[in-house]
Amino acid sequence: MSDTTFSLAATFEELLAAKKYNTIRDVLVTMNPSDVAAVMDDMEEKGMPLLFRLLPKEQAAETFVEMDPELQELLIKSFSDTELKEVLDELYVDDAVDIVEEMPANVVKRILQAADPQMRREINEILRYPENSAGSLMTTEYVSLRPDMTVADAITRIRRTGVDKETIYTCYVTKDRLLLGLVTVKDLLLAPDDDMLVSDIMETNVISVDTMTDQEEVANMLSKYNFLALPVVDTGGRLVGIITFDDAMDVLQEEATEDIEIMGGMTPSDKTYLRSTPWDLFKHRIPWLLLLMVSATFTGMIISGFEDALAAQVVLTAFIPMLMDTGGNSGSQSSVTIIRALSLDELEFHDLPKVIWNEIRTAVLAGAVLAAACFVKIMLVDKLLMGNEGVTPLVALVVCLTLAVTVLVAKVIGCTLPMFAKRLGFDPAVMASPFITTAVDAVSLLVYFGIATALLHI
C-alpha cells in the first residue's frame, strides 16, 4: 500500500463524481489486478462497486480474486444475479472455493446458485477436504492428455481447452483417471517430431501428493523441486487436481507469518495488521499474556521462598533481571532456530541426540565467554565504578556460575521442547520464547539461590 495507491483512490472518486467513466476505464486497463484491488481497498464503500463495473470482464474477475473478503462480500451483495454469474464464470475453481470459504452462509448459497452446474459440483468436491489440506488448496482445472495422443494432438488439445485452465504448461497424462505421467509444454514444443506419442516423451516418475497432505508440506515440496505445479491424487492413484506455484508461495508466506506470530506469543490471525481492530489484536494476544502472568507466580514463589536470603544479601536482587534475561535469550535463540529448521523440514525427531549435543557444546562456549565477561563487568562497573560495597568477588562468582549453568539449561530446554512438541503432534512454535522464558526463569532462580546458599552461607 504505497503512497501512489492512496492518491489514486481519491482521483478515482473525483472522476466517478464527475462521471468521467471513459477516463477511469483508460487508466484501469493499464493496471494489474492486484493494484486495482489495492486501490479499491482504499476507496469509500459507495464508489467501489461502480468502479468495479467499469472493469473489463476478465480483469474484473482477476481483481475480485485479489480483494479482501470483506470487500468481496460487499460487492457480491451489490451484484445482480447476472453480474454475479459473469464474475463466477471467469473464476478458476480454486479461487472460487477460497472465496466461498470466507463468506457467510447466505452469500455462499447465492454463489452456488449462480455457478454453473459443473463448477458447483467442483466447488462442493473441494469443500469436502479439511482446511489446510492439499485437497482444499487444489484446483480441478488442469490439462489432461491421453498417452496415445501424438505431440500434434496434444498441442491441438491444449489450444482448444487451455483458455479455462489455471496452468497449461504442465499437462498430466492419465488413463481412466489414473496418473501415468506428465508432459510440459516445453517438452511438446521442443519435441523433435510432431508424430511422436505423448507416452514416448512423458516423464513417468511423477512426484504427487495425497489429497490429505498438509499444505505446508505441499508448499515445501513445490519450493524444493522448483515445480510449476504438483498433482494431487486420491488413495487409488487417480488424479483429482493440481496445486500451482502461486498458491504454494502464498502458503509459504502464511505459514511463516503464523510461526512468527506463535513464537511471539500470539494466536495466529488471518487479517493483515491494518485490517485488524484493537479488539482483534487484543483477542489474539491476551491468552498468552494471562497464561504467562499466572505462570510467573512460580518465579514469584521461588523469590518469596528465599526472602530471608535476599534480605541478608540485598545485592543479589540487582542481578536477577540480568540472569533471567540472559537465560531467556539463550533459550529462545535455540528454540527459534530449531522451530524454523523443523518448519523447513531440515530436522527430524531422530536428530534429537545430535541437536542436544550441538547445543551443549554451543552452550559451554557461550556460557564460558558470558561468565568471564560478566565477572569482569561486575568487578569493574558494579564494584569499582559504582562503588557498590555489597559486591564482593564471591558474589561475582555466584552470579557468573549461575549465568553459565543457566545458559546451558536454557539451551537444552530450548532445543528439546520444540522437538518433543512436534513429535506429540503440537505446533513446535508454541514452545518458543514466551513459554521457554518462564521455564528458564524458574530454573535460573533456583540455580541462583542454590549456588548463593552454598557459597555465601546464607
> 75 or 429: whose CB is closer to its own copies?
429
CA dihedral 294, 295, 297, 299 (to 10 degrees): -150
Query: In angstroms, what is the minimal distance from the CB of 47 to its own copies?
Result: 22
> 107 or 364: whose CB is closer to its own copies?
364
Name the segment binding its own copies (CB under 8 A); options: 111-119, 121-129, 265-273, 447-455.
Answer: 265-273
Three-state secondary structure call for residue 441? helix
The answer to the question of residue 36 lying near its own copies (CB under 8 A) is no
Q: Which of 163, 235, 236, 425 binds its own copies (CB under 8 A)?
A: 163
Query: In angstroms, what is the minimal distance from the CB of 276 to its own copies?
Result: 7
Percentages of the chain per state (helix, strand, coil), in multiples of 5: 70, 10, 20
Rg (CA), the chain: 30
Whose CA is closest to 413, among 439, 390, 392, 395?
439
Name the segment binding its own copies (CB under 8 A); options: 51-59, 121-129, 231-239, 294-302.
Answer: 294-302
The answer to the question of residue 257 lying near its own copies (CB under 8 A) is yes
Instruction: Give the N- to C-terminal CA distance of the chain in Å, as an integer.
Output: 61
What the block records as the C-alpha cell of 217 is: 508440506
> 10 or 286: whose CB is closer to its own copies?
286
Whose CA is closest to 97, among 149, 140, 68?
140
Query: In angstroms, what is the minimal distance from the CB of 257 to its own copies?
Result: 6
Type and span of the H or E element at 355: helix 352-377
Query: In angstroms, what is the minimal distance from the CB of 444 to its own copies?
Result: 10
d(CA 16, CA 126): 39
Residue 231 backbone dihedrals phi, psi, to 5 degrees: -80, 145
Phi-psi bin for 226: left (phi > 0), alpha (psi -120 to 50), beta?
Answer: left
Residues of span 3-22 touching its own copies by CB under 8 A: 3
The answer to whether the beta carbons of residues 168 and 158 sit under 8 Å apart is: yes
The answer to the question of residue 157 lying near its own copies (CB under 8 A) is no
Q: Which of 10, 18, 178, 373 binds its own copies (CB under 8 A)?
A: 373
Query: In angstroms, what is the minimal distance from the CB of 81 to its own copies?
Result: 29
Q: How many chain residues are in contact with its own copies, going by CB under 8 A?
A: 123
| Neighbour tally for 262: CB within 10 Å | 20
Residues of span 321-350 touching its own copies by CB under 8 A: 321-322, 324-326, 328-330, 332-333, 335-341, 344-348, 350
Query: In angstroms, what is the minimal distance from the CB of 39 to its own copies?
Result: 14
d(CA 360, CA 364): 6
Query: In angstroms, what is the minimal distance from the CB of 430 to its own copies?
Result: 14
The answer to whether the beta carbons of residues 183 and 198 sit under 8 Å apart is: yes
CA dihedral 334, 335, 339, 342 (to 10 degrees): 60
Query: In angstroms, what is the minimal distance from the CB of 1 to its own copies?
Result: 7
> 21 or 375: whose CB is closer to its own copies?
375
- Per-residue contact string for residues 199-228; x = within reach of its own copies by CB under 8 A: ------x-x--------------xxxxx-x
| Neighbour tally for 173: CB within 10 Å | 25
Three-state secondary structure call for residue 221? helix
d(CA 409, CA 444): 8
d(CA 41, CA 68): 8
Q: Which of 152, 196, 281, 379 binds its own copies (CB under 8 A)?
A: 281
- Per-residue contact string for residues 45-64; x = within reach of its own copies by CB under 8 A: --------------------
Residues of span 165-204 touching its own copies by CB under 8 A: 168-169, 185-186, 189-190
Residues of span 384-423 touching its own copies by CB under 8 A: 386, 388, 403, 407
Q: Which residue has the cell 470459504?
A: 101
> 241 or 414: whose CB is closer to its own copies?
414
Residues of span 86-145 touching its own copies by CB under 8 A: none
d(CA 405, CA 443): 10
Name the segment binding its own copies (CB under 8 A); options: 8-16, 25-33, 47-55, 131-139.
Answer: 25-33
Residue 145 β-bridge partners: 173
What the block records as the C-alpha cell of 60 is: 474484473
Q: Which of 231, 265, 418, 428 binds its own copies (CB under 8 A)?
A: 265
> 416 or 433: whose CB is closer to its own copies?
433
The answer to whether the beta carbons of residues 110 and 159 sit under 8 Å apart is: no
Query: In angstroms, what is the minimal distance from the CB of 60 to its own copies?
Result: 17
> 130 or 264: whose CB is closer to its own copies?
264
The answer to the question of residue 23 lying near its own copies (CB under 8 A) is no
